Amino acid sequence: MELYREKFRRRLPDSLDDLQGPTEGCVEPPATVVWSGLRVFDLAKERQRMSLYRIVLAEGMRGDLSALLNRGILLHSWPTLRTLVSTTIRSVWEEQFSELRALAEVPPARRPRTRQGPAAA
């Protein structure tokens, strides 16, 4: 298990400030990160944004993290995003970055419901 944790530790940026990814538009990660399924993610759509971040956290190398993730979006999304990633990824990131650890107690955002069901992403 420690080797698995180390795999993710080695990929961490030195600082969350290193995460300079886009904040809007559509993102097409390299095939080394996303190799099947949805290949282009619209950051304006919450589900696509969360999917992108979940995949990049799990599959991306250090350079991918810096290029594809944005500090502000990561911090805003962390209360929900932390429930979508593995416990190993979550603990490695929260151990390294106190900003994320502080958000661990914030409840995940709840999607507004309408009579037609959950809001569309």
Instruction: Compute the distance between CA of residue 50 and CA of residue 23 in angstroms, rounded to an integer.
Output: 13
Q: Has residue 63 been placed in a domain?
A: yes
Q: Has residue 114 been placed in a domain?
A: no
Structure confidence by residue, pLDDT tens digits, 98-108 = 999 999 888 88
- Outline where DSSP puts E strands in 1-121: 26-27, 41-42, 113-114, 117-118
Q: Has residue 47 been placed in a domain?
A: yes
Q: Has residue 62 been placed in a domain?
A: yes
Q: Which domain holds residue 59?
A: 2-104
Which residues are within 8 A (CB) of 112 and not within 5 positions of it... i.e. 6 or more apart? 119
Residue 58 clears pLDDT 80, i.e. is over it: yes
Q: Has residue 119 been placed in a domain?
A: no
Q: Has residue 111 been placed in a domain?
A: no
Instruction: Compute the distance between CA of residue 57 and CA of residue 52 in angstroms, rounded to an integer.
Output: 9
pTM: 0.86
* Element housing 77 (H / E): helix 71-81
Q: Has residue 73 been placed in a domain?
A: yes
Number of domains into which the chain is organized: 1
Q: Has residue 57 been placed in a domain?
A: yes
Segment 59-72 mean pLDDT: 98
Contact 58, 11 (CB under 8 A): no
